[in-house]
Chains A and B, each alone.
Chain A
Amino acid sequence: MARINMVEAINMALRQEMTRDKDVIVLGEDVGADGGVFRVTEGLLHEFGPERVIDTPLSELALVGAGAGMAAYGLKPVVEIQFMAFLYEGLEQLYSHASRFRARSRGRFSCPLVVRTPYGIGIKGPELHSESSEAVLCHMPGIKVVVPSNPYNAKGLLASAIRDPDPVVFMEPSRLYRSIKAEVPEEAYAIPLGKAEVFQEGKDITVIAWGRMFHDALDATEGFDCEVIDLMTLKPFDEETVLNSVKKTGRVVIAHEATGYCGLGAEIAAFLAQEAMMHLKAPIVRVTAPDAVVPMARLEDYYVPSKEAIRKAFEEVMKY
C-alpha cells in the first residue's frame, strides 16, 4: 500500500475504472497530453488512447450536454470541468436535462454521467477559481453530489460515482489535492454513495463537515468531546447517521466553506429541527462563509470559516 495524495488517488480510480469498464470515457479541456490543469488525468491518454481520453474544445455547455448524450447512449463519460465556476455554463444541461432524462422518459433513458470539478479556495488563482457552489447542485432533483476529504475516500467514492446509474457531480477540494497523503490500497474498491462516515466518536457535540472544511473542523475539536461526521455524499446526505449522532449528543455544529444563505447547512439544520427537536440541548449552529462573493487570494482566509470560528461555535453550544 502506497502513501499517495488525492490527485494520485483520483488518477488511480480513473485508471482502474477505465480498465474495468471499456465504456468509461474521460473528456474535458486539457485532459489529454497535458494531463489536466491539476494533472489528475496524467498518463491516461498514453494508456487508453485518444478515443477514451478526449481533449475537447473549450466548451463547458457542450461538455455537460454531450456528456449527457453519450451517457444516454450507453457510455459512462467522466467529464472534467477545470474549475467549479466554469460549470455554471453547464448548469442548464444538468438542471434541465441530465437530471431529468430518467424521469422524463419514465425510465427508458438514463444519464450515468460523472462531472468532476475542483472546488474551494486554496490555489491563489484569479477570480472564479475558488467557488463552493454545492448547494446549487444539491437543489437539483436527480443529481448526486459527492465530496471526498482524503485520498482514500476520493478513490473509493469516485469508483462508486462512475458505477452509479445516475448523474453525479464529484467535487474535489483543490486545497487537499496535494496537501495530504494517505495509505491507499492498490486494488480497486468502492465506498457507497449516500453514506457518511463517523470519523471520530464523541458525546457532547455532533460536528458535520465535508471536503476541506472537515479537516478544519476536526482540528478545532481539541479540548471538546466531539463526534465528527464526514458527510462525503452531500446529496442525498446520510440522514440516518446524522440523526443517530445528534440523538446522542444533542448539540450540532455544521461547518462549510460555502456561503450560509440557503447553503447545505441550512438543509441539514432544518432536517434536524424537524426530526430531532426533542433531543436538542442547544440551538443548531452553522459556521459558514458570509453572504458575499468569494474574494480573491488576499482576503480568502477571512471568507472561509476559521478554526477559531468553529471553536467559538463549540463554546456557544456548550453553554447549554
Chain B
Amino acid sequence: MPETIVERFEVKLLSILDESGNADSSLMPPISEDLIKKFFETLIFARTFNSRAISLQREGRIGTYASIYGQEASQIGSALALEKDDWVFPSFRETAVNLTLGYPAWLMFRYWAGDERGMKCPEGLNIFPMSVPVGTQITHAVGASLAMKLKGAKSAAVCYFGDGGSSRGDLHEGFNMAGVLKTPTVFICQNNQWAISVPRERQTASRTIAQKAFSYGFEGMQVDGNDVFAVYKATKDALDKAKAGGGPTFIECLTYRLDDHTTSDDASRYRKKENVEAWEAKEPMIRLRLFMRKKGMWSEAYEESIMKKATEAIDSAITEEETFRPSEPKDIIAFTNAELSQRQIKELKDRGWQG
C-alpha cells in the first residue's frame, strides 16, 4: 500500500488596505462612507481613552491598565461587524471592542480604577466581563453559542484572546468542542506578537496560529489586523456563516502591541526600539487617514473636530467615573450568591456592613 495524502489545508491571509492607504477594490466589502467615518472616529475615541487611561494610571487615579495602542483596527473592525444579539467574550485588552459597541467609557475607567461595578454590563449590551486569566473565556463563548444554537437564536458569540492565549489548553478543548458541536462561534486572536516578554515565535512552532483551527475541523485564516476593512470583512463573513449554521471560524489578526504589556511593564527590557518603530509605520490610523484623504473624506479640520469631541467625551467620562458614589463594602458579600447563606448574613452583620 502506498502512502497517501489524506488531508491538506491552506491558510489565507486577507489584506485590503495597504500602508499607503490604497484599498483593493476587488476585496473591499460594501462599506458606506458613514461606516468608514465611524471606523476613524471610533479609532480616535478609543485612542484618546487609551492615552488618558495611561496618564490616569501614572497619576495614581486608576490601577494597572493594559494598553490597546496599535490594535485598534482588529478591535473596531471586528466589533462593527456584530449585531445586537451577538455576545462578546473579551480578554482584558479589548477596550476598543467595548467602546465601539457603546459600552460607557466611564464604566471602563471605573473598572480599571478597581471597581467591579465597571463590569456590570448595561442592559441591551451582551458583553461579558473581561477575562483576566488568559484564554479561559474561550469555552464560555463555545457554551453561550451552543445555547444560542439550541434555542434557535440567529446570533453568534465572538471570543477575543491573544497569541499567548492560543497556547492554553482552553483553546484546544474549546475549539474541539466548537468543531464537533458546530457552534456559531467566531474566535478572534489578536496576535500582537508579544505575551508580556515572550515573542510569538516562542509561543508556538506552527507557522501561523490560524492553522490550528484546521485540526478541529473548521477554517482558520489570517487577516492584516491593522487593516480595519480586512478585519471587518473577515468578521462579517464569519458571523454570517455562523448564523447560517456553518459553524465556527477562527480569525488570526496580525497586529502589534506598540505599548508595554501593561502600565506595570517595561518592554524596553526585552524588545528593540527598531522593531517597534517598524510596526509604528504600519499602525492602523495612518493608513485609514491616507485612504480617507484620497477619497476626499478627510481634512485637518475634520480630524481636529473629532479629536476635540473625543477629548470632551473622555473628560466627561473621567468626571463621571471619579464622582460616582463609592462602592460599599457590603457588595463584597452581597453578589456572591443570589441568596446569602447563614454564614454570609452573619459576616455582613459582624462587620457592620448591613443596610
Do A and B come from the same complex? yes
Please, how many residues of chain A have a CB less than 8 angstroms from a CB on the other chain? Answer: 47
CA A236 to CA B346, docked complex, whole Å: 13
Contact residues of A between 130 and 172, Cβ < 8 Å to B:
141-142, 144, 164-166
Please, how many residues of chain B have a CB less than 8 angstroms from a CB on the other chain? Answer: 45
Q: Which residue of B lies closest to A236 (CB)?
A: B341
A-B pairs with beta carbons under 8 Å apart, 13 shown = A62-B170, A62-B174, A64-B139, A65-B142, A66-B146, A68-B139, A70-B147, A72-B143, A73-B148, A107-B120, A142-B336, A194-B342, A238-B342
Q: Are A108 and B174 in contact, with the CB atoms below 8 A?
A: no
Top 10 nearest A-B pairs (CB, nearest first) are: A69-B143, A65-B139, A236-B341, A66-B143, A69-B140, A62-B173, A73-B147, A106-B120, A165-B338, A70-B143
A132 to chain B, nearest CB (A): 22
B180 interface residue, CB < 8 Å from A? yes
A56 interface residue, CB < 8 Å from B? yes
B278 interface residue, CB < 8 Å from A? no
Q: Are B337 and A102 in contact, with the CB atoms below 8 A?
A: yes
Q: Are B143 and A67 in contact, with the CB atoms below 8 A?
A: yes
Contact of B335 among A106, A144, A165, A236 (CB under 8 A): A106
CA A71 to CA B147, docked complex, whole Å: 8
A221 interface residue, CB < 8 Å from B? no
| Interfacial chain B residues near A73, Cβ < 8 Å | 87, 143-144, 147-148, 151
Q: Are A65 and B138 in contact, with the CB atoms below 8 A?
A: yes
**0 or 1 for each of B297-310: is its CB under 8 Å from A? (1 = yes):** 00000000000000
Q: Which residue of B lies closest to A72 (CB)?
A: B144
CA A69 to CA B337, docked complex, whole Å: 17
Q: Which residue of A lies closest to B133 (CB)?
A: A96
Q: Are B147 and A69 in contact, with the CB atoms below 8 A?
A: yes
CA A222 to CA B15, docked complex, whole Å: 80
Q: Which residue of A lies closest to B177 (CB)?
A: A62
Q: Are A103 and B335 in contact, with the CB atoms below 8 A?
A: yes
Q: Are A66 and B337 in contact, with the CB atoms below 8 A?
A: no
Given contacts A57-B180, A106-B119, contact A72 B133 (CB under 8 A): no
Q: Are B150 and A74 in contact, with the CB atoms below 8 A?
A: no
| Interfacial chain B residues near A236, Cβ < 8 Å | 341-344
B184 to chain A, nearest CB (A): 12
Q: Are A108 and B136 in contact, with the CB atoms below 8 A?
A: no
B245 interface residue, CB < 8 Å from A? no
Q: Are A54 and B181 in contact, with the CB atoms below 8 A?
A: yes
Given contacts A61-B173, A103-B335, A142-B336, contact A239 B342 (CB under 8 A): yes
Q: Are B128 and A109 in contact, with the CB atoms below 8 A?
A: yes
Q: Are B144 and A61 in contact, with the CB atoms below 8 A?
A: no
Q: Are B144 and A69 in contact, with the CB atoms below 8 A?
A: yes
CA A106 to CA B144, docked complex, whole Å: 19
A236 to chain B, nearest CB (A): 3
CA A105 to CA B121, docked complex, whole Å: 7
Contact of B140 among A97, A107, A144, A239 (CB under 8 A): A97
Given contacts A68-B140, A106-B116, A240-B342, 18 further A-B contacts (CB under 8 A): A52-B150, A56-B181, A57-B173, A57-B180, A62-B142, A62-B177, A65-B143, A66-B140, A71-B143, A72-B143, A93-B139, A106-B119, A144-B337, A164-B338, A165-B338, A166-B338, A236-B344, A238-B342
Q: Are B129 and A105 in contact, with the CB atoms below 8 A?
A: yes
| Interfacial chain B residues near A75, Cβ < 8 Å | 147, 150-151
- A56, A106, A164: most-surrounded residue (chain B CB, <10 A): A106
| Interfacial chain A residues near B336, Cβ < 8 Å | 102-103, 141-142
Q: Which residue of A lies closest to B335 (CB)?
A: A103
CA A137 to CA B335, docked complex, whole Å: 19
B331 interface residue, CB < 8 Å from A? yes
A291 interface residue, CB < 8 Å from B? no
